[in-house]
Amino acid sequence: MSWHPQYRSSKFRHVYGKAASKEKCYDCVPITRNVHDNHFCAVNPHFIAVVTECAGGGAFLVIPIHQTGKLDPHYPKICGHKGNVLDIKWNPFNDFVIASCSEDATVKIWDIPKHLLTRNITTPKKELLGHVRRVGLIEWHPTANNILFSSGYDYKIMIWNLDTHEAVISNPVKILDAHKDVVLSMSFNTDGSLLATACRDRKIRLIDPRAGTVIQEASYKSHRVNKVLFLGNVKKLFSTGTSRWNNRQIALWDQNDLSVPLLEEDLDGSSGLLFPFYDSDTHMLYVVGKGDGNIRYYEISPEKPYLNYLMEYRSHLPQKGVGMMPKRGLEVSACEIFRFYKLIPTKSLIEPISMIVPRRSESYQEDIYPLTTGAQPALTAQEWLKGVNKGPLLVSLRPGSGAVNSLPQFLEPEPLRATPDLSQHQGWGGRMPLEDMQKTSEIEDSRKQLKVEEKLPKNEQMCLSNGFDVFECPPPKTENELLQMFYRQQEEIRRLRELVNQRDVQIKQLELELRNLCTDKSSY
């Protein structure tokens, strides 16, 4: 008889939640009073968007992520909808494009300017007209560019191709008509080839979105599903809902057999919805309760018992909705593995909550930061519509390992001037030593970045400091903040001077090596 240890070994067993200080929260934000069961918040490394309360029509706010503190009551809004906004989602491949859906039966795509908003935005980039009743859910495809799914109270899911020049799109590329009631939740698998839905008829459906066929259907009577979520590549589904006795309940399903859940567990008797979030990098599952301040988190394993309870973050402030920061926006130096943005309408407050692995070392912890989904699409819209499947493009979160941010179009590198062909230099003989080639390429890369910044118009230049955009930082409000900003700029100038001096030394070394090589060749 084998002996099993009482405690399971896990590097995430001691993960804890840490709420941000008052200065790093977003205060005086008029959060919506709508009772629709959605997150009402969307976050990316540049902005936080939140559905707001307004008179006449629907609106939402887009606040730069570094602009914490009290919000100006006259801060500009995105207000082009004629009905209440029900859902907002950032484009995963462009941090300056957001989609919204509303009770006015439309879906709108908005371009968010790089500079701070100075007036309300009322004209969308694109408008999608196809639903005949209000649209309650939208989801971007996880790997294909410009593919958007929308679900309405007409019981239809529509697939839109935004890769067109039309400002108004009336014809979706596909309509999924497999539901007999309102769709409450949508979730994609890792490569976006399968769609899981939770419906008000209490059924979970697994759908091939391009063919429009239902592959699996769960009609388990004792679990009334509200939200469903794909658990990465482990071929399992996770759902939240209620039991026959109206207790809040979670369930785990095998993707290939939805007849009976692998696991069922009652949590409590509260009436609020449970929002599930899954981190496929760490295999951690977070369950956020609407109407309470708790965040439960678990670790998923491929073998029984499948779901391993870790801890619970508790707070006396109830959340109405919650946003999630993508992995590329986390603070890896603090061992932060997840970040929530909690909407607290009773205090008009948005409070960031960081999930942290306690580590003493301040160096990069590679074991808790595997390669993660980047900001570049793996497929074009046409490729996906033709049947191609491809997993997401992965990037490293190690500082300096490469750009992981989704940048606006005006930051694309411009063509550089032709560099002199060193192979024609006397004495090279048409070849360059590998060491020198590497050094030259490093210098050219740095020059390339400097030239791109130089060639930008003055009104579109970015001041980047270690990936931090100075223009996104709000102006200093006190003398102390002004001094801190001044010292940071002085430190940045000193660092850049050192960098330029190092480059000059490298260039002189390369010139000397070239001269020595030429001299050696001529002596022969």
Helix (H, G, I), strand (E, B) or coil at 121: strand
pLDDT at residue 117 in the model = 84
Cα 31 to Cα 51: distance, rounded to the nearest angstrom: 6
Q: Tokens for 481?
A: 């903040």
pLDDT at residue 7 in the model = 56
User: In 3D, which of 418, 419, 423, 449 has the Cα closest to residue 436?
Assistant: 423
Q: Tokens for 444?
A: 């050219």
User: In 3D, which of 483, 293, 352 has the Cα closest to residue 68?
Assistant: 352
pLDDT in 10s for each residue of the chain, 524 residues: 334 445 567 889 899 999 999 999 999 999 998 888 899 999 999 999 999 988 777 899 999 999 999 999 999 999 989 999 999 999 999 999 999 999 999 999 999 998 878 899 999 999 999 999 999 999 999 999 999 999 999 999 999 999 999 999 999 999 999 999 999 999 999 999 999 999 999 899 999 999 999 999 988 888 899 999 999 888 899 999 999 888 999 999 999 999 999 999 999 888 889 999 999 999 999 999 998 899 999 999 988 889 999 999 999 999 999 999 999 999 999 999 999 999 999 999 999 999 999 998 778 898 999 999 999 999 999 999 999 999 999 999 988 876 444 443 333 333 333 333 433 333 333 434 434 444 444 445 545 544 444 444 444 444 444 444 444 456 666 776 777 777 778 778 888 888 888 888 889 888 888 888 887 777 66
Tally Cβ neighbours within 10 Å of residue 486: 11
Residues 6 or more apart whose Cβ sits within 8 Å of residue 35: none
pLDDT at residue 495 in the model = 85
Helix (H, G, I), strand (E, B) or coil at 77: coil
Cα 384 to Cα 209: distance, rounded to the nearest angstrom: 11
Please answer whether residues 351 and 20 qualify as being in contact, where contact means their C-beta atoms are separated by less than 8 angstroms. yes
Please answer whether residues 377 and 140 qualify as being in contact, where contact means their C-beta atoms are separated by less than 8 angstroms. no
For 436-439, which contacts have Cβ atoms below 8 Å and span 24 or more sequence positions? Answer: 436/510, 436/513, 436/514, 439/506, 439/509, 439/510
pLDDT at residue 360 in the model = 85
Residues 6 or more apart whose Cβ sits within 8 Å of residue 420: none
Rounded to 10°, the helix 434-455/479-523 angle is 140
Q: Tokens for 517?
A: 């090589």
Q: How many helices, marked H, and strands, marked E, lie in the chain? A: 3, 35
Cα 226 to Cα 222: distance, rounded to the nearest angstrom: 13
Helix (H, G, I), strand (E, B) or coil at 441: helix
| Architecture in CATH for domain 16-373 | 7 Propeller (2.130)
Tally Cβ neighbours within 10 Å of residue 483: 11
Please answer whether residues 380 and 145 qualify as being in contact, where contact means their C-beta atoms are separated by less than 8 angstroms. yes
pLDDT at residue 458 in the model = 42
Sign of the CA dihedral 222, 226, 227, 230?
positive
CA distances to 66, 166, 414 from 53, rounded to whole Å, are 23, 31, 42
Helix (H, G, I), strand (E, B) or coil at 411: helix
pLDDT at residue 299 in the model = 94
Helix (H, G, I), strand (E, B) or coil at 302: coil
* Single-letter residue type at 41: C
pLDDT at residue 477 in the model = 66
Q: Determine whether 320 is exposed, middle or buried from the number of CB atoms within 10 Å of its CB (0-12, 13-18, 19+).
A: buried
CA distances to 49, 58, 135, 421 from 157, rounded to whole Å, are 24, 22, 10, 56
Cis peptide leading into residue 305 (ω within 30°): yes
β pairing state of 26-27 and 69-70: parallel
Query: Which letter does DSSP use for residue 230 in this model?
Result: E
Give, for 516, the enclosing helix (H) or strand (E): helix 479-523
Cα 524 to Cα 235: distance, rounded to the nearest angstrom: 68
Residue that has been written with the tokens 């909690």 in this structure: 342
Give, for 160, the enclosing helix (H) or strand (E): strand 157-161
Cα 374 to Cα 397: distance, rounded to the nearest angstrom: 9
